[in-house]
Amino acid sequence: MQPTRRTAIVATTTTALSALVATNPARAEGSSAATGTHWVNTWTAMPQLTEPANLPPAPFTGTASVLADTTLRQTLRVTTGGRRLRLRFSNAYGNTPLPLTAVTLALPQGGKAGASAIVPGSGRPVTFAGRRSATVPVGAQLVSDPVDLDLRPASVVTVTTYLATGQPSLALTSHPGSRTTSYLRAGDHAEAQDLLPGATPVDHWYLLSDVEVLAPRATTAVAILGDSLTDGRGSTTNANDRWPDQLYDRLRAHPATASVAILNQAAGGNRVLNDGLGPNVLARLDRDVLSRSGVTRLIVFEGVNDIGTADATPAAQHQVTEDLLAAYGQIVVRAHAQGIRVFGATLLPFGGNTYDDSAGERESSRRAVNSWIRGAGCFDAVLDFDRAVRDPADPRRLLPDLQVGDWLHLNPAGYGVLAATVPAGLLR
């Protein structure tokens, strides 16, 4: 549908921010073919139904609504850059429409993730079909109008959203494991330079699921399906040192891979076969990978939670192993049908963690799965994360100095080892 009017908002260029222009989305799409560009996802956060413990704190969550008369400020580090961007808001798990009153895009003070302040004068309105306000239907996404922005690789952007009425239910879509500080403040402060003092910090992302950039045709994206090891459990808040972040930092240092975006589609507790924290991988593959713009490669690094939550009996572990191998095959078939190459990562050891059972049934399953990943030829390439971080003296365990103390999750140094294990040539 064509918007009823076209709006251009032109700002004076400053050293902090190039001019931003809100444009007609249809015209922007039409111009991309002529200019040799296309839309590519540069940042993603897997949408999840917010658990009660991760809902915004009082007074931002009421008895029957959430985020009413609330300003939400969030910072996001993109991967590849571009000349124009657009935002996607998700109401995937909402059971009521989600009204957005005003959205503002800006640069954070100091260019840092987790900043409560924006660069003075950098804030620009985000529109939807030319309008400041919009409603995200139940279960749907909403894509903003494009905004002109000279967005450099690895830039941090600030998105501030004001919700006058909030969502009239407690079914809120979010990504709890942000490892990034956001801010909540009562009232309309969408244009405020700083939300502090007076704002409440929360280490979660709400409502946002994607940032896309209009980039040259050669720009592509790599999606990563994973669990808490990819979502960044054990990484540093506001430091962006998860292994996908560190992988992108490697790629952008070399001209041959500088135009490759990295999309983190992981969530803590996620599983391949059964729903956990978020839908299972087979259920979310279309949404999180196949429909994401610009994706040409996929890394699958998931399965440890399936093994670890299955009963530690020979029968249960045999079944989960067989089911995982079949699921990996399905992922590859479905991705190949869309022209996407798939790389399989071996599962890390968990000796010493609560997943470890005295009879070694789960360890046997992990080894069987890894042997299949390495030798079956199902994947287009194999990333042997297991060999990279296991203790040679005790292969059932992680190297002690690479883990956080629970013998399952890595620290930033450990995540750096995973990132270094990925051959850059695979992602060109």
pLDDT in tens, 300-314: 999 999 999 999 999
Stretch 94-112: mean pLDDT, rounded? 97
- Please write the tens of the pLDDT for every residue from 42-76: 999 999 999 999 999 999 999 999 999 999 999 99
Q: How far is residue 270's CA from residue 278's CA, in Å, rounded to a whole number?
A: 6
Stretch 2-10: mean pLDDT, rounded? 39
Where on the phi/psi map is residue 49: left (φ > 0), alpha (ψ -120 to 50), or beta?
Answer: beta
Domain co-membership, 199 together with 279? no
Q: What is the 3-state secondary structure (H, E, C) of 274-305?
A: CCECECCHHHHHHHHHHCCCCEEEEEEECCHH
pLDDT of residue 370 exceeding 80: yes
Domain co-membership, 359 together with 299? yes
Domain co-membership, 149 together with 268? no
Domain range for 111 is: 52-210
Nearest to 327 by CA among 286, 275, 272, 371: 272
pLDDT of residue 13 exceeding 70: no
- Please write the tens of the pLDDT for every residue from 374-426: 999 999 999 999 999 999 999 999 999 999 999 999 999 999 999 999 999 99
141, 59 contact by CB (below 8 A): no
pLDDT of residue 9 exceeding 80: no
- Choice between 149 and 360, residue whose per-residue pLDDT is larger: 360
Q: Would residue 23 count as lying in a domain?
A: no
The one-letter code for the residue type at 16 is: A
235, 179 contact by CB (below 8 A): yes
Domain co-membership, 91 together with 165? yes
Q: Would residue 10 count as lying in a domain?
A: no
Q: Would residue 205 count as lying in a domain?
A: yes
Banded pLDDT at 111 (limits 50, 70, 90): very high
Domain co-membership, 79 together with 112? yes
Residue 134: alpha-carbon gap to chain centroid: 23
| 426 contact partners, CB below 8 Å, separation of at least 6 | 297, 343, 381
pTM for this structure?
Answer: 0.92
- Please write the tens of the pLDDT for every residue from 169-216: 999 999 999 999 999 999 999 999 999 999 999 999 999 999 999 999
Q: Which three-class secondary structure state does DSSP give residue 205?
A: strand
Q: Would residue 2 count as lying in a domain?
A: no
Stretch 150-158: mean pLDDT, rounded? 93
321-355 exposure pattern, b = at least 16 Cβ within 10 A, e = fewer: bebbbebbeebbebbeeeebbbbbbbbbbbbbbeb
Stretch 223-227: mean pLDDT, rounded? 99
Helices (H) and strands (E) in the chain, counts: 9, 23
Where among 171, 190, 210 does a domain terminate? 210
The one-letter code for the residue type at 212 is: E
Q: Would residue 293 count as lying in a domain?
A: yes
How long, in residues, is the chain?
Answer: 428
Where among 210, 229, 261 does a domain terminate? 210
Stretch 345-350: mean pLDDT, rounded? 99
Q: How far is residue 386's CA from residue 346's CA, in Å, rounded to a whole number?
A: 6
- Please write the tens of the pLDDT for every residue from 239-255: 999 999 999 999 999 99
- Helix ranges restricted to H, 175-242: 228-231
Domain co-membership, 238 together with 383? yes
Domain co-membership, 112 together with 250? no
Where among 210, 242, 258 does a domain terminate? 210
Q: How many domains does the chain have?
A: 2
Q: What percent of the chain has pLDDT over 70?
A: 92
Over the chain, what is the mean pLDDT? 93
**Beta-strand pair 295-301/220-226:** parallel
Domain co-membership, 356 together with 410? yes
